[in-house]
A and B are shown apart, each in its own frame.
Chain A
Amino acid sequence: MDFLSNLVNGISLGSIYAVIALGYTMVYGIAKMLNFAHGDIIMVGAYVCFYAVYHFGLPGWAGVLLAMLLCLILGVAVERLAYRPLRRADSLAVLITAIGVSYFLENTAQLVFGANNVFFPNLFEAEPIRLFDGRLVISVVTLASIGICMAVMVILTLFIEKTKLGKAMRAVSEDKDAARLMGISVDRTISVTFAIGSALAALAGVLLCSAIPSLSPMTGSMPGIKAFTAAVFGGIGSIPGALLGGLLLGVIEVMGKAYISTQLSDAIVFLVLIIVLLVRPTGILGKKVQEKV
């Protein structure tokens, strides 16, 4: 029963990683850059939700929507102000800028929200679900994380595969000049990508902080790196890859904690990543899956 419980927790954590990884993978697929500030958007989203719900008394769902909306604006603003002027610069300059934005967000958050951890009360107040005479207890956050992740995947896949904006994103990811000649605005498409990724990061932030349950300006940093790892693990640029990478990473991390060593669990995660990349440098789904969004 412990195993089952760990598996469910691993899938849940992995779902959150997968939702964050989508932001990395879509931005990489379309703008060909690594947005290392993505993890910190998670933290901003969690703070927005925290203040909206516990200081201004908004209902939980409204807090989540507000967090998604503000992060969407933040993500688009960051792209507009920090990355767009570097559209033709070399990739190292963009990478360093992204790291700079990450520090900027973390430090601004320390200034505004204080450096201390705050207790992030669970948004999902319902009773946990007990199965097998109470031997398997699954919290509502755990289930919500899995359910939301699956819903996000389905909606996003429909969006990318079936709508004209989604197809425009795939076109931009393949060939920007050719896309421009279809009358597609590349800048606008990249903005949409950042908007989607950032809104999803806010959603992931709320789920993550509900599960932990605490929040500090550094909260987004480690999950951000793990989600980036998940994106690379699954094959960066691939949406199914982000899901697979996220889930595997979450399960490996929780299993590692439970059966090997709590201290070593992160090391195990990265060890598996290194092994996978040695065998398949493009990640698990990197080459086979053609959609590079």
Chain B
Amino acid sequence: MAARKTYEPTVMVSPPSDILIPERDLGEIPALECRHLGITFGGLHAVENFNLTVGKTEIAGLIGPNGAGKTTVFNLITKVYQPTTGTILLAGRDIAGMDTAAVNRAGIGRTFQNIRLFNNLTVEDNVKLGLHNSIRYRSFAGVLRLPSYWQEEKKAHERALELLSVFKMERMADLRAGGLPYGVQRRLEIIRALATEPRLLLLDEPAAGMNPSETEELMETIRRIRDEFRIAVLLIEHDMKLVMGICEGIAVMNFGKIIAKGTPDQIRNDPEVIEAYLGKNREE
């Protein structure tokens, strides 16, 4: 295995109740707190009494069998769906009443299970759309090519290249996003989400469709993103090697509910989890 970057081992602590966050985040306001979150679709409790706290710089995992409600949780946090019950605090701030765009501006970036890039735009323009709210000039300045347009565009261009360099993608800036290979598209989607300057990055199956060495690289990158950008990451993933390898806290869902929370070691040995989910994969 490739040499790992030195990395302080996480000590997970449980301050009052069942909240579990890394020790280093103890004094800080958590990046995300979901309290009694729930949504009902026509009588079906798709997500019920969902409680989760993600520390300020934590990499957290959300796992569970297909249909357990993991992506629904992401849709609730990003307000694609309106929760029926419960509250969501983003860095201590209640996001009730915000729409998706406002939630993004408040500090949540997200990628999708099925990649949703702007396929007809270039790689650079995809990233620049992430920078949308940090680019400041008026549209007529853009049409007339006034100095403010050039200044801001230059800044955005440099920032976009800087972000692309996180994944060594600077040289692909002018390619059409839709024409990129699958793994590269996944990375671009992460960069685009990072461009919106989130406090919390939600990754929906970031390793889907990646080969083992790409996954290995992705794990390093997720850690590096957390370290460099000092943000929290919450990811949904089926690849247990990735989840167990980089997540500090893990929540397991089944039938819309959290059935277990803990460190990778605790989760690995939880009988209920093994029965619900990990049982099939134990031989790995």
Residues of A within 8 A of B (CB): 155, 158-159, 162-168, 170-171, 174-175, 177-186, 290-292
Contacts and interface: CB of A to CB of B under 8 A. Distances in A.
B129 A171 contact: yes
A165 B117 CA distance: 18
B107 to A, nearest CB: 10
Q: Interface of chain A, helix or strand or loop or mixed?
A: helix
B29 interface: no
Given A178-B118, A181-B109, 10 more contacts: A167-B125, A168-B132, A170-B118, A177-B116, A178-B117, A179-B118, A179-B129, A182-B104, A182-B196, A184-B101
B120 interface: yes
Nearest to A180: B100
A163 B118 contact: no
Given A155-B143, A167-B125, A170-B120, A177 B132 contact: no
Contacts of A177: 80, 100, 116
A180 B121 contact: no
A170 B99 CA distance: 20
Given A159-B143, A165-B139, A166-B142, A181 B110 contact: yes
11 contacts: A162-B142, A164-B137, A166-B142, A170-B118, A175-B118, A179-B118, A181-B196, A182-B101, A182-B104, A182-B130, A183-B101
Nearest to B105: A183
Interface string B147-188: 001000000100000000000000000001000000000000
A183 B116 CA distance: 15
B171 to A, nearest CB: 21
Interface residues of B, number: 33
B139 A170 contact: no
Contacts of B104: 180-183
B120 A290 contact: yes
A167 B120 contact: no
A184 B129 contact: yes
Nearest to A192: B139
B196 A183 contact: yes
B143 A158 contact: yes
B121 to A, nearest CB: 6
B139 A167 contact: no
Residue of A164, A165, A171, A181 with highest tally of chain B CB at under 10 A: A181
Interface core residue of A164, A167, A168, A179 (most chain B CB under 10 Å)? A164
Given A171-B118, A174-B120, A181 B142 contact: no
Contact of A164 (B112, B118, B128): B128
Q: Which residue, B78, B100, B104, has most C-beta atoms of chain A within 10 A?
A: B100
B84 interface: no
B193 interface: yes
A155 B140 CA distance: 10
B74 to A, nearest CB: 10
Contact of B142 (A159, A178, A179): A159
Most buried by B among A174, A178, A185: A178
A172 B113 CA distance: 19
B133 interface: yes
